[in-house]
Structure 1
C-alpha cells in the first residue's frame, strides 16, 4: 500500500467509500464522480500504479471481479449495457494512479447516463495507417516473444 494513494487509503478504511464487493484481492466501490447511475470502480487491494505495473494475478482478479459485478449491475439497475474502462497515464485520463477498472452501466435513458463519446464508433479509419500500425506492433510483439523464448 502507498501512504499517498487515495485508493490505498480507501482499502485501508481511512477514507470512506460505498463498498459494493470485496474479496482477498479486490475491492469494488461506487465512483463519487459517476458517468452514469451505478458507475463503480474495481481495484486490486495491492497497490499498482497502472496497467503497465499491475501483476498478472491481480489483473486477472480485478477483471473477473469486474465481470461478475457488471453482470449484477446490468440486471439490478436494468441497464441496457455496460462499459469496462481503464485509463493508463494522465494523457489517457487517469487521475488516480492506482490501477482500476471503471464498471459503467449504460442506459438508453440519458437522464441516467451522462457519458458521451469523444469519437464516433463505426467511422472507418485510414486502412493503410491501420495496416502499418498493426504490422509494426505485431513485429514488436513477435520480437519480444522470440527474445523470451531464447
Structure 2
C-alpha cells in the first residue's frame, strides 16, 4: 500500500545500503526477514532498531509475515536489553511520514531501554523538540562504529 502521507527523501536508502553490505553497522542479530542494529544515536545506552530486509517505507507497506517477524525480533531484543542493562522500562516507537519525524524512508522500530535519569523526558516527542533545538545534544549522543560494535556485543551476549 502506498502511504497516504509524505515520506522523507533519501536516495539511496541507508538501510537498504546496510542490508546490501555496503557499509558497517553495529549488528546485533539477523533473521530471514529482519536485521537488528544499534542506533547511531544513543539517547539511552543500548538503543537499537529492528528493520525489515525488504524495503518497506512504512508500517502500511509491511507484509503480515514481516510484521510478525519484526515484533518477534523486538520481543527478543527487549528481553536481551533487560538482561544486559537492567533498565527501568522499555520504549518502543515507530514514525511513519515526515509529519511524525520519520527520517529514513524504510520502516524501523526503535527499541529503547529507559532509565529514570533519562535525557528523554517523556519520550520520543521530547527528542523531536531536542532535534529542532540543539545540534549540540545530537553531537553528544551520536556514537562511532567502535561503540556501536561494543553495544551490539553487549546485547548479543544477553540474547
**Given the two structures, how large is their TM-score scaled by the length of structure 1?**
0.72
| Larger Rg, first or second structure (1 or 2) | 1
State yes or no: 1:34 paired with 2:42: yes
Q: Distance in 1 between matches of 2:11 and 2:104?
A: 13
State yes or no: 1:12 paired with 2:27: no
1:93 is displaced (CA, Å) by: 1.2
Unaligned runs of 5+ in 1: 120-150
1:55 is displaced (CA, Å) by: 1.3
Q: Distance in 2 between matches of 1:74 and 1:107?
A: 11
Q: Distance in 2 between matches of 1:71 and 1:93?
A: 27
State yes or no: 1:59 paired with 2:75: no
Q: Distance in 2 between matches of 1:55 and 1:81?
A: 29
Deviation string 1:34-76 (CA, Å, 9 cap, x unpaired) is 2211000000111101111111111110111011111111121
1:4 is displaced (CA, Å) by: 1.4
Q: Distance in 2 between matches of 1:89 and 1:3?
A: 16
CA contact (8 A) 1:3 1:9 kept: no
Larger RCO, structures 1/2 (Cα 8 Å, 6+ apart):
2
Match of 2:98 in 1: 90
**Given the two structures, how large is their TM-score scaled by the length of structure 2?**
0.68
**1:102-121 equivalences in 2 (<5 Å):** 102-108=110-116, 110=117, 113-117=118-122, 118=125
- Provide the aligned C-alpha RMSD in A: 1.7
Match of 1:81 in 2: 89
The count of aligned residue pairs is 115
